[in-house]
């Protein structure tokens, strides 16, 4: 028997069905609300509004739980690889040994970028932000790989091309921005090792593949791989709902992720910590500014729309930080500062009352710095990690028989009907 809720308005009673999720979470189905009542709902920022049903990622914001296709990120970070986790998200199950081998071979076979695309990079100003370049280059892939996504095979090919080429394109933007020779992917290296090699190998100083750095990158990208209906994923679904090609939908996701309130926060955290460090490590003024409602400053890397406790990804990233920095014998003053800031904030009533805890971005920049990734590429690293999640969410929406173009309504608050005034009758 379907549960329902009743809405009483004046002398009318309306009944709406209630839907139940896998863990008992409840949703009022308002898909017929306007037809039944003439009303719409209003929910700026969609804090209370579900856009879809999804079987990909489960988050429990109160208990700090995150699972991809039912498997906890703790287990995946400990035992899986980014490529295996990508397969899990996109195909809905872990691959067999043979399937994983085939997937890795396909990713290698498709990891080159059309040579004519290199010309695009030459014409971006050297100081261009890599996220703007990445969003443009992903969109441009459609011109160079115009396979339509009508059959499953074509969709799989486009998905493989995206996953294979995004890290090549990211590394290319770094090399070309520095006037260095582009390094090609190697068939003998894993997905993550290939990326680091493409970023840092040079003819005069061959890059030494450090297993702990490759492991840290695998964990970093596993933790970023999906996060249900966040801003950039919602953008991919919304843009995709117009039945545009996957490259364009992903390009929109990259653009949405760029913002400092979203994926751009990992770069903003390091910039904030560097500023505090340069000012003598005095954290109190920054904590006071974060608490001042008249000050637009936000404590970057803190707070989350869903997590009202410690972001489970931040815990794992913090451990990865310790392991990698110990192995590389790096002591990063910004890590010590981050720990001090976390300790002070978590004791502060404002942060406690507002449920503000470190999120995935608070420590991730420290790991990336230890790998040698430049700060302006931190959000690119987030985008590469989130790509399998965006793809999985796009596929799920395309396969949904009830899916339709996203077109929200609004509550109009502008002027009621007014007449046009000819220019000759207006004030001078
Ligand atoms: C990501 O959605 C996802 O899943 C995103 C993500 C993913 O994997 O896709 O997890 C990745 O984007 C992580 C978040 C990265 N962004 C930051 O670290 C930027 C700093 N954080 C904030 O801007 C904020 O916490 C957000 C944007 C993350 C969430 O904002 P909400 O849910 O819209 O909350 P809000 O801005 O309405 O704030 C509620 C209250 C306000 O105080 P009051 O006016 O109610 O008194 O909390 C305060 C805010 O002032 N607040 C903060 C704060 N975050 C919220 N105050 C100081 N510092 C902060 N960081």
Average pLDDT taken over every residue of the chain: 96
Q: Scan for tokens 């067999």, then name that residue.
A: 96
Which residue, by CA, sits nearest to atom 26 of ligand 1? Answer: 304
d(CA 169, CA 175): 10
Measured between alpha carbons, how far is residue 122 from residues 25, 130, 275, 310 in Å?
51, 13, 32, 43
Percent of the chain whose pLDDT exceeds 90:
97
Q: Scan for tokens 């700026």, then name that residue.
A: 44
Q: What is the pLDDT of residue 95?
A: 98
Summarize the confidence of residues 259-272 as an average pLDDT. Answer: 95
Q: How confident is residue 31, by pLDDT bands cut at 50, 70 and 90? A: very high
Regarding the beta carbon of 227 and ligand 1, being less than 6 Å apart is answered yes
Question: At residue 148, does pLDDT exceed 80?
Answer: no
Q: What is the pLDDT of residue 206?
A: 96
**pLDDT tens, residue by residue, 321-347:** 999 999 999 999 999 999 999 999 999
Domains of the chain: 4-60 (2.20.28)
b/e sequence 359-373, b meaning 16+ C-beta within 10 Å? bbbbbbbbbbbbbeb
Give the distance (Å) from ligand 1 centre to CA of residue 302: 7
Percent of the chain whose pLDDT exceeds 70:
100
Which residue, by CA, sits nearest to atom 45 of ligand 1? Answer: 354
Instruction: Give kind and range of the element (H or E) at residue 240.
Output: helix 231-240
Question: At residue 304, does pLDDT exceed 80?
Answer: yes
Give the distance (Å) from ligand 1 centre to CA of residue 230: 12
Q: What is the pLDDT of residue 205?
A: 95
Q: What is the pLDDT of residue 2?
A: 82
Give the distance (Å) from ligand 1 centre to CA of residue 397: 27
| DSSP of 274-329 | HHHHHTTT--HHHHHHHH-TT-----TTB--SS-SS--HHHHHHHHHHHHHHHHTT
Q: How confident is residue 386, by pLDDT bands cut at 50, 70 and 90? A: very high
Using the atom order of ligand 1, give the atom closest to the CA of residue 303.
Answer: 25
Quick one: 377 exposed, middle or buried, by C-beta within 10 A (0-12, 13-18, 19+)? buried
Model pTM greater than 0.75? yes
Summarize the confidence of residues 25-42 as an average pLDDT. Answer: 96
Cβ–Cβ < 8 Å for 317, 367: yes
Summarize the confidence of residues 250-255 as an average pLDDT. Answer: 98
List, by residue number, the catalytic residues: 304, 361
Question: At residue 149, does pLDDT exceed 90?
Answer: no
Q: Pairing mode, if any, of strands 26-28 and 57-60?
A: unpaired
Q: What is the pLDDT of residue 344?
A: 96
Q: How confident is residue 27, by pLDDT bands cut at 50, 70 and 90? A: very high
- The count of C-alpha atoms lying within 13 angstroms of the C-alpha of 281, restricted to the half-sphere facing its C-beta, is 10
Regarding the beta carbon of 299 and ligand 1, being less than 6 Å apart is answered yes
Summarize the confidence of residues 38-53 as an average pLDDT. Answer: 96
Summarize the confidence of residues 7-19 as an average pLDDT. Answer: 96
Q: What is the pLDDT of residue 180?
A: 94
**pLDDT tens, residue by residue, 110-119:** 999 999 999 9
Regarding the beta carbon of 383 and ligand 1, being less than 6 Å apart is answered no
Give the other-Cβ count within 10 Å of 211's Cβ: 9
Q: What is the pLDDT of residue 218?
A: 98
- Tokens representing 381? 């690293």
More confident residue, 55 or 403: 55
Question: At residue 98, does pLDDT exceed 90?
Answer: yes
Give the distance (Å) from ligand 1 centre to CA of residue 234: 17
Q: What is the pLDDT of residue 170?
A: 98
Q: What is the pLDDT of residue 150?
A: 82
Angle, vertex CA 193, rays to CA 192 and CA 194, nearest 5:
90
Q: What is the pLDDT of residue 428?
A: 86
**pLDDT tens, residue by residue, 205-241:** 999 999 999 999 999 999 999 999 999 999 999 999 9
Regarding the beta carbon of 361 and ligand 1, being less than 6 Å apart is answered yes
Regarding the beta carbon of 356 and ligand 1, being less than 6 Å apart is answered yes
Regarding the beta carbon of 261 and ligand 1, being less than 6 Å apart is answered yes
């Amino acid at each position: 028997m379907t549960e329902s809720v009743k809405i009483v308005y004046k002398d009318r009673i309306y009944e709406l069905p209630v839907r139940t999720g896998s863990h008992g979470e409840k949703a009022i189905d308002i898909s017929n609300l306007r037809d039944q009542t003439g009303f719409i709902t209003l929910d700026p920022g969609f804090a209370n509004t579900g856009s879809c049903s999804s079987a990909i990622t489960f988050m429990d914001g109160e208990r700090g739980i995150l699972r991809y296709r039912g498997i906890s990120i703790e287990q995946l970070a400990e035992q899986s690889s980014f490529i295996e986790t990508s397969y899990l998200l996109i195909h809905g199950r872990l691959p067999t040994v043979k399937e994983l081998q085939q997937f890795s071979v396909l990713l290698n076979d498709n990891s080159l970028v059309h040579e004519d695309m290199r010309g695009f990079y030459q014409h971006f100003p050297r100081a261009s932000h890599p996220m703007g370049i990445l969003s443009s280059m992903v969109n441009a892939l459609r011109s160079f790989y115009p396979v339509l996504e009508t059959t499953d095979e074509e969709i799989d090919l486009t998905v493989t091309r995206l996953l294979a080429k995004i890290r090549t394109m990211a590394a290319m933007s770094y090399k070309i921005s520095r006037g260095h020779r582009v390094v090609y992917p190697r068939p003998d290296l894993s997905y993550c090792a290939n990326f680091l090699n493409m970023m840092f190998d040079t003819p005069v100083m061959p890059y030494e593949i450090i297993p702990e750095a490759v492991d840290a990158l695998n964990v970093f990208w596993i933790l970023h791989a999906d996060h249900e209906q966040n801003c950039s994923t919602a953008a991919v679904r919304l843009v995709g709902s117009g039945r545009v090609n996957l490259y364009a939908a992903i390009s929109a996701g990259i653009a949405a992720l760029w913002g400092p309130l979203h994926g751009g926060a990992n770069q903003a955290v390091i910039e904030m910590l560097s500023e505090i460090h340069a000012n003598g490590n005095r954290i109190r003024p920054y904590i006071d500014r974060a608490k001042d409602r008249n000050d637009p400053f936000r404590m970057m890397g803190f707070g989350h729309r869903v997590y009202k406790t410690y972001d489970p990804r931040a815990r794992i990233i913090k451990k990865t930080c310790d392991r990698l920095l110990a192995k590389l014998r790096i002591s990063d003053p910004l890590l010590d500062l981050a720990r001090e800031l976390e300790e002070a904030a978590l004791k502060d009533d404002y942060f406690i009352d507002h449920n503000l805890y470190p999120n995935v971005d608070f420590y991730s920049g420290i790991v990336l710095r230890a790998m040698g990734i430049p700060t302006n590429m931190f959000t690119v690293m987030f985008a590469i990690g989130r790509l399998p999640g965006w793809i999985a969410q796009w596929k799920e929406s395309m396969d949904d028989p009830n899916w339709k173009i996203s077109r929200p309504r609004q509550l109009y608050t502008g002027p009621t009907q007014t007449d046009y005034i000819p220019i000759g009758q207006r004030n001078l």
